Amino acid sequence: MTDLVELLEARNRHISNSLSIGHDKPLHIVKGELQYLYSKDGTRYLDLVNNVCHVGHCHPKVVAAGQHQMSLLSTNTRYIFEGLTKYISRVADTLPEGLDVGFMVNSGSEANELAIRLARAYTGSNDMVVIDGGYHGNTSMLVQLSPYKFLGPGGVGAPESWVHVAPIPDSFRRGSFDHNEEMRKTIVEAGRIAGLLIEPMLSCAGQIPLPEGFLEQAREYVHRAGGLLIVDEVQVGFGRVGTHMWAFEEEGVVPDIVVLGKSIGNGHPMAAVFTTKEIAASLGEMEWFSSTGGNPVSCAIGNAVLDVIEEEGLLNRAKELGDYFVNSLRILQKKYPVIGDVRGRGLFIGIELIEDSITLSPAANEAKRVVKEMRKRGILLSTDGPLHNVIKIKPPMVLEREDIDITLRQLDVVLSEGAL
For 18-58, the DSSP string reads TS--SSSS---EEEEEBTEEEETT--EEEESS--SSTT-BT
Cα(358)–Cα(354) distance, integer angstroms: 10
Q: Are residues 45 and 118 in the same domain?
A: no
Which DSSP string corresponds to 244-311? SSSGGGGGT---SEEEE-GGGGTTSS-EEEEE-HHHHGGGTTS----SSTT-HHHHHHHHHHHHHHHH
Q: Are residues 193 and 86 in the same domain?
A: yes
CA 306 to chain centre: 18
Q: Are residues 185 and 303 in the same domain?
A: yes
Between 20 and 343, the more confident residue is 343
For residue 257, pLDDT over 70 is answered with: yes
Q: Are residues 177 and 265 in the same domain?
A: yes
Q: Out of 311, 334, 352, pick the residue that ends a domain.
A: 311
Closest CA to 340 of 359, 357, 319: 357
For residue 1, pLDDT over 50 is answered with: no
Q: In what order do the strands lie in the sheet with 339-345?
A: 339-345, 348-353, 390-393, 382-384
Q: Are residues 166 and 297 in the same domain?
A: yes
Burial 69-87 (b: 16+ CB within 10 A, else e): beeeeeeebeeebebbeeb
Q: Are residues 47 and 64 in the same domain?
A: no
Q: Are residues 227 and 192 in the same domain?
A: yes
pLDDT at 23: 76
The residue type at 329: L
pLDDT at 287: 86
pLDDT at 377: 97
Q: Are residues 43 and 142 in the same domain?
A: no
Q: What is the pTM of this model?
A: 0.95
Residues near 354 by beta carbon (within 8 Å), at least 6 away in sequence = 337, 338, 339, 340, 341, 360, 361, 362, 363, 389
Q: Out of 311, 343, 363, pick the residue that ends a domain.
A: 311
Q: Are residues 121 and 160 in the same domain?
A: yes
For residue 2, pLDDT over 90 is answered with: no
Task: Convert the pLDDT of each residue in 125-144 to its tens digit.
Answer: 999 999 999 999 999 999 99
Q: Are residues 70 and 191 in the same domain?
A: yes
Percent helix, strand, coil in the chain (nearest 5)? 40, 20, 40
Cα(195)–Cα(192) distance, integer angstroms: 9
Between 243 and 287, the more confident residue is 243
Mean pLDDT over 377-391 rounds to 96
State the CATH number of the domain containing residue 346: 3.90.1150.10
Task: Convert the pLDDT of each residue in 84-106 to its tens digit.
Answer: 999 999 999 999 999 999 999 99
Number of domains into which the chain is organized? 2
| Mean pLDDT, the chain, integer | 95
Spatial contact of 187 and 129, defined as CB atoms under 8 Å apart: yes
Between 78 and 187, the more confident residue is 187
Q: Are residues 43 and 122 in the same domain?
A: no
Q: Which domain holds residue 129?
A: 60-311
pLDDT at 273: 98
SS3 116: helix
Task: Convert the pLDDT of each residue in 265-278 to its tens digit.
Answer: 999 999 999 999 99
Q: Are residues 178 and 258 in the same domain?
A: yes
Closest CA to 235 of 141, 295, 148: 148
pLDDT at 80: 87
Q: Out of 311, 341, 359, pick the residue that ends a domain.
A: 311
State the CATH number of the domain containing residue 250: 3.40.640.10
Closest CA to 219 of 190, 245, 254: 254
Phi and psi, residue 404, nearest 5°: -65, -45
